[in-house]
Structure 1
Amino acid sequence: MKIEHLIAQIKSKNSFLCVGLDTDLDKIPEHLLKEEDPIFEFNKAIIDATHSYCVAYKPNIAFYEAYGIAGWRSLEKTMDYLNEKHPDMYTIADAKRGDIGNTSTRYAKAFFDTMNFDAVTIAPYMGRDSVEPFLTFEDKHAILLALTSNQGAFDFQTRTTEGLELYKQVLKTSRDYENSERLMYVVGATKAIYLKEIREIIPESFLLVPGVGAQGGSLQEVCKYGITKDVGLLVNSSRGILYASQAKDFANKAAQQAKTIQNEMEMELHKRFGD
């Protein structure tokens, strides 16, 4: 998907919400377990209920790999459904891949060509030759882990060497990668205060922002420090939407939660851009 199309969707829906499809058979409503493919049936119901309020969906690949071939089939069916019924949706494979060049090339083909995702999350630790293969695909994006929302992020990401925190080194170095205009970055909502300095390094790049909702991140703080003229944000919510209810009304409750977040986003956009 061209970035211009994503921006148009954000403006059209007054939303920059990404719904994380972290589907866990231990948490979905019990009545769905009787279905032939409960993961897909759950995803389909969530998508049908929330697509009016979001612009992106982000399956976390671990939640599908955990169930082996059956899980991969559920993911494939989910992507086929999204691409057929909701082709305007931006899709992110939350896979956190990253390896030597020829391996990264195969990962990229798997998610971009075979499964038709628009973006994939990448761990940058192995450097340029592990990232650039993902950047050779036109109208696709690699989303580098920069400053994540988990507590362990402080183990390495904020450590300073030669006067510069590691996450800033990732941001600065990656700007020189070939086709770096196809890069996005992960910055956790729980680290929103860091966004001011991050925007000084990458003023216009899109950021994928997890951690709003169940992890305690503030949408208002994220917008205060991170929003750009093209919005430049995809704020993810997973558990807060997916598991708003475990009863038969789960899809309606998910829609209500997504609509609440979308309304908050619309207010933030109105404050900054007007009508």
Structure 2
Amino acid sequence: MTRQEIFQQIQQKASFLCVGLDTDIQKIPQHLLKAADPIFEFNKQIIDATADVAVAYKPNIAFYESLGAKGWESLHKTLEYIPKNIFTVADAKRGDIGNTSALYARAFFDTMDFNSITVAPYMGVDSVSPFLEFEGKWVILLALTSNQGSQDFQTLTASDGRPYFHHVLEKSQTWGTPDNLMYVVGATRGEKIAEVRSLAPEHFFLVPGVGAQGGSLEDVAKFGMNEQCGLLVNSSRGIIYADSSENFAKTARMEAQKLQEEMKKLLDHYL
């Protein structure tokens, strides 16, 4: 999927919403446990309820890996069910030596046909470049994350007086382009979003942390939006676990629509 195709979806839906499919067998509504594949049934109903306002879906791979072969089967069926014009993110946070990364890339891009994958940059270019060799696929590199431990390394001051994440942003742009490389930028670090945008003006950002984690959607748009929006704002728990009753999908839709309505106002204001 190209950058222009992503932007067209954003324009058509007046939305830059990414729905995180962090589907936990221990948290889904109890009545679904009677289904042949409870994880897929939950995802199916969430997708049915939100596909007209979501421009991306992001399954967190750990939730599926934890269930072994059945989890991978549920993930495969989920990917098959997502409409082909909606961007898919494998939230896998891979990144290893070159030959191993090449196999991860083959797994997620060829075998499973995800549009993108999150990748950790710590091991450098040879761990990232195999993912960038697939035409029409995207690397979403961890740049400045929203978890508390991000301060352990990402914001440390380097020898030139700048934080480590500055170097990640600048160096990685010699590996990929705005047409195949995005960045993870946490919404809960609102004061840093403008800083990241100044270093990567054309790239898309995948932004977690809005909703349950307390990030401000208005701040994300104010400091992070560019001429093609440049944002995929993820909400997981705030949408998919908003209701644990048999009406969970209806409630998920209501929460997704609330975000979409706010996103429309922000798009109208900044674009």
Question: In which range does the TM-score fall when normalised by the shorter chain?
Answer: over 0.9
The alpha carbon displacement at 1:192 in A equals 1.7
Q: 1:233 aligned to 210, 231, 243, which one?
A: 231
Q: 1:135 aligned to 121, 132, 145, which one?
A: 132
| 1:261 has 2:259 as partner | yes
Which whole-Å deviations, capped at 9, do the CAs of 1:74-115 have from their partners, x for residues lacking one? 000101111xxx111000000000001111011001101110
In structure 1, distance between residues paired with 2:168 and 2:89: 21
In structure 1, distance between residues paired with 2:48 and 2:158: 47
In structure 2, distance between residues paired with 1:182 and 1:54: 21
1:160 aligned counterpart, secondary structure: coil
In structure 1, distance between residues paired with 2:179 and 2:86: 21
2:188 aligned counterpart, secondary structure: helix
In structure 1, distance between residues paired with 2:162 and 2:140: 21
Contact 1:49 1:251 in 2 (8 A): yes
Match for residue 17 of structure 2?
17
The alpha carbon displacement at 1:181 in A equals 4.0
Which whole-Å deviations, capped at 9, do the CAs of 1:10-59 have from their partners, x for residues lacking one? 01100000000000011110000011100000000000000011100000
Mapping 1:1-275, distance limit 5 Å: 1-82=1-82, 86-162=83-159, 163-177=161-175, 181-273=179-271
In structure 2, distance between residues paired with 1:71 and 1:106: 20
Count residues in correspondence: 270
Contact 1:35 1:41 in 2 (8 A): yes
Amino acid at match of 2:97: I
In structure 2, distance between residues paired with 1:58 and 1:199: 22
Which whole-Å deviations, capped at 9, do the CAs of 1:174-206 have from their partners, x for residues lacking one? 011155741100000001211111111100100
In structure 1, distance between residues paired with 2:24 and 2:88: 19
Contact 2:2 2:179 in 1 (8 A): no
In structure 2, distance between residues paired with 1:15 and 1:24: 26
Between 1:157-166 and 1:87-96, the stretch displaced more is 157-166
Contact 1:241 1:258 in 2 (8 A): yes
Contact 1:136 1:179 in 2 (8 A): no
1:124 aligned counterpart, secondary structure: coil
Identify unmatched segments of 5+ residues in structure 2: none
The alpha carbon displacement at 1:3 in A equals 1.4
Q: How well do the aligned residues superpose, as a CA RMSD in angstroms?
A: 0.9
Provide the TM-score with structure 2 as the length reference. Answer: 0.98
1:120 aligned counterpart, secondary structure: strand
The alpha carbon displacement at 1:272 in A equals 1.6
Between 1:264-273 and 1:173-182, the stretch displaced more is 173-182
Between 1:176-185 and 1:142-151, the stretch displaced more is 176-185
In structure 2, distance between residues paired with 1:171 and 1:228: 17
Between 1:53-62 and 1:162-171, the stretch displaced more is 162-171
In structure 1, distance between residues paired with 2:72 and 2:48: 21
- Structure 1's consecutive aligned runs of 4 or more residues displaced over 3 angstroms after TM superposition are 178-181
Contact 1:3 1:139 in 2 (8 A): no
Contact 1:195 1:226 in 2 (8 A): yes
1:161 aligned counterpart, secondary structure: coil
Between 1:58-67 and 1:174-183, the stretch displaced more is 174-183
